[in-house]
Structure 1
């Protein structure tokens, strides 16, 4: 594989992860599903599940919240013809709607995504995704002020 092809593949995987964050935050569940292989698996909090179960859980848990997900500092390696792996730093902030007179609540978290990718029909897709949280802080009163 040429150096150009390797760099091109890495850039495509970066775009894939950017779409993942955008689709989660904009609640584009159909678009989110299109980023995964048919047999993709996801691991959150140590529990492995199908991508369909992951999306269903995300849809239910995020509900009417406002979220901002960031995936940063990628370490991407092309491991073979049509296969790759990656580790991403991550940060997310999620605030949940409050009732009358209540302050918003939410979470602010950090960690890493560990992923495997497959190239299917000339398109990179997420095949395995594991979220490893390093820290998760509750938010009282909504978004942090800086």
Structure 2
């Protein structure tokens, strides 16, 4: 495979990895989320306000915070800027827009941030080795307005 083709293929695999990461969080698929992360993954969210060292610590904490049918999230990653620095190492910047609906605490969140990621390729598979984001803005509405209607929730049976 030519260098340019190899680079483009690496970028596509990394894009799919990040999309899978967001889908895992939003669908509460904690096993899939773990598959996206290196064992020694470092996470620093909200400008370092939340810090995790290791895949298990990160996944366990997110699961404890988010894994309830009354907490719904939507994470959209846009406009990736990817840089392949070695055959098995890359960096990327992503624009994030997210929404969260917390019915239990009667709040709505809308925000934007920039993710800075590092990726490693291990055993032929790209993984997130480090992830961090800083907020561009965040808004919280509380209480949820009386006119708000949730008409679908995949977690409610």
- Where in structure 1 are there 5+ consecutive unaligned residues? none
What do the CA deviations read for 1:67-110 (whole angstroms, capped 9, x no partner)?
100110000000112100000000110101248xxxx4221111
Matches within 5 A, 1:1-146: 2-45=3-46, 46=48, 47-50=50-53, 51-64=55-68, 65-98=71-104, 104-140=106-142, 141=144
Give the superposed CA RMSD: 1.7
Q: Secondary structure at the match of 2:23?
A: helix
Q: CA deviation at 1:53?
A: 1.9
Residue correspondences, number: 139
Instruction: State the TM-score, normalizing by the size of structure 2.
Output: 0.82
Q: Secondary structure at the match of 2:78?
A: strand
- Where in structure 2 are there 5+ consecutive unaligned residues? 149-157
Instruction: State the TM-score, normalizing by the size of structure 1.
Output: 0.88
